[in-house]
Chains A and B, each alone.
Chain A
Amino acid sequence: MTYVGKSIPRNDGFDKATGLGIFTQDVALPNMLFGKVLRSPYAHAKVISIDTSAAEALPGVEAVCTFENTTNKPFNTSATMITTNPGAEPVRDQRVFTGEPLYIGDEIAAVAAVTEKIAEDAVKLIKVEYEVLPAVFDPLEAMKPEAPDVQPEFGCKEHKNVCGEIVEFGIGDIGKGFEEAEVIVEADIELPRVKQAQMETHGAVASYKANGTLEVYSPTQTPHPTKMILAYALDMPESKIHVQNPPYVGGGFGVRIGLSGKAEILAAVLSMKALKPVKIQYSREEDFLASDTRHGGYLHCRLGAKKDGTFVALDTTAWLNTGAYATFGVELLGVCGACGTAGTYRVPNMHYKGFPIYTHQQTAGAFRGFGTPQGTAVVEAAVDKMAQKLGMDLLELRKMNTTKPDDKNWFPFPVGSVAINECIDKAAEGIGWKEKRGKAQSGNIRRGVGIACGTHVSNAAPFCVDYDAVYLRIEQDGSLHIGTGIPEIGPGSTTALIQVACDLLGVPFDTAVMKFGDTAAAPFDIGSHATRTLYAVSQVIRDAAEKIRKDIFEYAADFMGVPADKLDMSEGIIFGEGKEYPLSRLAYEAHLRGKQFFAAECKVPPNSLPWYAQAAEVEVDMELGIVKVIKIVSAHDVGKVVNPRLCEGQIEGGVLQGVGYAVREEMTYVDGKGFYNKGFHKYMLPTADDRPEIVPIMIESNDPAGVMGIKGIGEVGLCATVPAVLSAVEDATGVRFDAVPLVPGRVIDGFKKAGLIK
C-alpha cells in the first residue's frame, strides 16, 4: 500500500491553518437577515398570550415567527427521524416553536431583522404571558406516579415519563445465570450531563426563495438526513432542498446528528416568511443551554461469577435523563446496553433494561460514545468489585472473561478480530501497573493507577438505517474525484478516505480530491456519526473502486494489447505483461471517444467491534479532595491504521474529553434558574495547561469485515476513562466513588463517608 499506514498531512490543513477555510459562521449571502430566538424562561409553562406587535413595528424587523403562525407539524430534530428501522416509529415530539415550553430555553418565537442587534431588541419586545406549570427534573422522580407528565402523547404506556419505549434485551437465562453464580457483586453509578462544547456554536444560513427552493448552509454532521428532516417538517420536496457544509464544521461530537441545534429549521421558517436569506448563530449560552447534552442519570449492575472468576450473569439497568424531547433517547439507551454492557465480556446470561426518561430539562442526545461510556462505567465498576471479592488481579479477571474471536455474543454480526487483551496488556504496561498498583500510600498527596476496557461499534448498522453512497470519477487527466455526502467534522476522515481510495484504485494521492458535506455531491449518506465515517465509507469506496478498475482495465486492454485480467494499476500507471500505460493518457483517450470512467455505489456497511483498554494514573490531594489525572495510556484495537497521526489525534482528543467527564465536567441544574453552565467560564472542560500526559497506542488486528482490516476509532477514546479514573482513585485512596465528576466537594464528602476525615 502506498498511502494507507502513512501520516499524510490532512488535505484541509492549508485552509484551516490560513484562516481561509469557510465555516457556517463565515457564510454571508446578499440581502441576508439575522435571526434571534425567544426562549422560555420557565421549565414548564403554557403561553396564555403572546403579543408580537411591538417587535413587528420595530424598524428593521422583517419577520416574526411564533408557534401561532408557523407550522406545528411534529418532527424530531435528530437523524432518528429518518433512520429508525422499519417496524418502529420515530418519536416525533418536537415542533419548530411551542406554546407549551418544556424546558428553560424552549423555542417560543423568533425574529429576523437587518442586524443582529435589532433582532435581539425585537425579541425583547415580544410580550408573553405564561402560566407556570409543575415541572420535574430528576429521572427517578419523573417515573413516580405523582410526577407531572412531560410528554403525555409520547410516553410509554407502562411507565410514567418513559420516552418511546423501554429498551430491553438479553441472552441466555439471567435468573438461571445468577443461580449458577458463586459470587455476586453489585455496582451503582450516577453520571452527570456533560456538554459537547464543540467550538463552533450551532448555526445555519437558510435561503428560501418564492420559487419554492431552500438552500441551507450549516455545520450538520448529516447533510442528507438534515435535508430529509427539513423536507418532512416543512412539507417540501426533498429535491428542492440543498443542504451543505460550507464546507468546514467547527466540531460536532454528536451534537448535530440531524439539525445543528434547531438552527436550520429556525432560519428556514424565518426565511420562508421574509423571503430573504436568514442567518442564525447561537450564542455560546444558547448552545450550552438549548441544545442536546450527554445523557446523565443512574445505572445499576449485578455481576455473577464462578469462584474461578468465570462470569456467568450480568444484569444492568439504566435510568437516563433524556430531557424534554426524545431526539436520540431510545436509541442511546439501546447502545448503552449493547455496547456498554453486552459487548466486552463473554457472559452466557446477560440482561439489560434501559429507561429513557423525559424530564423538564434541556434535551440529552448524542455525544461521542452515545451510551457506551455510561454502560461501560457501571460494568467496569462491577468488574473491579468482583476482582476484589475474588481476590483476583484486575487484569487477569478481565482478560479471562473478555470476548474471544470465535464467541457468539449478543451482537447480530460476527465478533471479528479481537485484540482487547493485548490492549489491556499494553495499557497496563504503559502506566507501570506492576510497579504502581496496590502500593500502600501515606501522606497528603497519593497516587494510584486504574484500568478499564470495553468496546463499541464501527457504525450504526444494523441498529438503524445506516448506509452510504459515493460517486467516484476519473477526471479526463486521470485525477480522482470522490463525491460523498459525509461531512468533515474534524477527524480527518476525508483525508484518510482519499488515502484508502487511492490505494484501492492505484492512483496518486496528490491529485485526488473529495467533494464532501453536500447533498448535491452524491446520493444519500447518513453522515458522520457512530464512529463510522472512515470504516463505512471505505466499504462503499471499495465497491466503486473495483467497478472503475474493471472498466479502466477493459478499456485499456485494447490500447495496451494486454488482456484486462492481466492488468493492474499503481500510482496512475496501468501495467501488465511488461507494458505500461498512464491513466492520465487513457482517460483523455477515452474522453476523445466520449467516455469517462466513473462509478456510483451504495451499500449498507457491515460492522466491527473496536476494542480498547485505558489505564489512568491519578494524584489525589487528600485534604482538599483534588483529583488530578496525570497520565492516561489508551490502547486501541483499530483493526488497521490508515493515518497514524490522525488516528492518534482521535484517541488523544477523546481521552481528554473523557478526563473532563471523569473529574471536572458537569451541567449543574439550579432550581428555578436552569443550568448554571452558560459558558466556558462556567464549564470546566480541560484547557492546555490542565491536561494529563496522554499516550495513544494503536494495535492492528486486521478485522475481517473492515476494508484492509479497518475498524472505527472516532468515539472510543473516551469510553473507558471514567471507570479507569475511578479505579485509579480507589487505588490511591481506598475509596470507591460511584459518581462523577470527581470534583473536590464530592471527593471530600466521599472521604468523610469513608471515615478518612472527620
Chain B
Amino acid sequence: MEKLNVTVNGKFMSVDVDPELCLADFLRDRLFLTGTKIGCGKGECGACTVIMDGKAVTSCIIPVMRAEGSVIETIEGVSDGDKLHPIQEEFINKGAIQCGFCTPGMIMSSKALLDRNNDPTADEVKEALGGNICRCTGYVKIEEAVMSAAERMRNGETSK
C-alpha cells in the first residue's frame, strides 16, 4: 500500500492504495465513479478517458500512483450540481449519444480540448477525439456537439 494524495472532482483526498492498480480501477472500484468506462484496458479505445492536470489521459493504463499530487476530473465532476456543462448539453441536444458507453470518455476528451482552446478547428477536434472510439454514431454528431459547445464556451458559458 502506498499513500496517494490526489484531488478528484474538486475534493482532495489522502488514501492508501495498492500501487498495482490503474487509475481507472481506483476511480471505479474504490471511489465508485463508474462513469469512467473500461472498453479495452489497454488505452486503445478512450472510454476510460479522464482529465489529469488538464490533459486527457486513458486512465486504464495510468498507474494510480501517477496521480500523486494531481488534479483529476471525471465525468461525474463535469456538471455543477444540477447544471449540466455546455458540452454535456450539446452532446444530448445534438444527438451525439447513442449507446452511451463511449460518451463519458468523449466528453472528457472534448473538455480537455475546449478548456484549453475554445475555438478549435475541425482538425483539432478530430485529433482530440481520434483516440476515442465510438461504434454507434459515425462521429458526425459528436463533432457537431463539440463545435456547438465551443461556441457556447466562447460566449462565456461553463457549468462552474
Contact = CB atoms under 8 A, between A and B. Distances in A.
A–B proximity contact (CB within 8 A): yes
Interface of A: 7, 9-10, 12-23, 25-26, 196-201, 248-253, 283-284, 489-492, 645-646, 648-649, 652-657, 679-681, 685-689, 691, 694
19 contacts: A10-B92, A16-B103, A17-B91, A18-B35, A19-B75, A20-B76, A26-B34, A198-B99, A199-B102, A199-B135, A201-B39, A645-B95, A645-B141, A649-B141, A652-B140, A653-B135, A656-B138, A686-B139, A688-B126
Contacts of A657: 135, 138
Contacts of B92: 9-10, 13-14, 17
A199 B47 contact: yes
Given A284-B42, A679-B40, A15 B100 contact: yes
A10 B41 contact: no
Contact of A19 (B74, B130, B135): B74
Given A12-B97, A200-B39, A248-B101, 6 more contacts: A22-B34, A26-B34, A199-B136, A251-B101, A648-B140, A680-B45
A313 to B, nearest CB: 37
A694 B144 CA distance: 13
A688 B98 contact: no
A490 B99 CA distance: 4
Contact of A653 (B42, B98, B126): B98
B98 A490 contact: yes
Given A653-B137, A685-B135, A21 B37 contact: no
B37 A25 contact: yes
B42 A250 contact: no
Contacts of A251: 98-99, 101, 135-136
Contacts of B84: 14, 17-18
Contacts of A9: 92-93, 95
- Interface size range on B against A: 35 or more
B88 A18 contact: yes
Contacts of A648: 95, 140-141
Contacts of A10: 92, 95, 97
Nearest to B109: A688
Interface in B120-139: 123, 125-127, 129-139
In the A-B complex, the 5 residue pairs with the smallest Cβ-Cβ separation, listed nearest first, are A19-B35, A16-B100, A250-B101, A490-B99, A13-B92
A656 B98 contact: no
B141 A688 contact: no
A126 B103 CA distance: 39
B158 to A, nearest CB: 15
Contacts of B45: 199, 284, 680
A17 B88 CA distance: 5
Given A18-B76, A689-B127, A652 B42 contact: no
A613 to B, nearest CB: 18
A490 B101 CA distance: 9
Given A17-B103, A18-B84, A689-B127, A681 B42 contact: yes
Nearest to A658: B138
A200 B104 CA distance: 13
A491 B75 contact: no
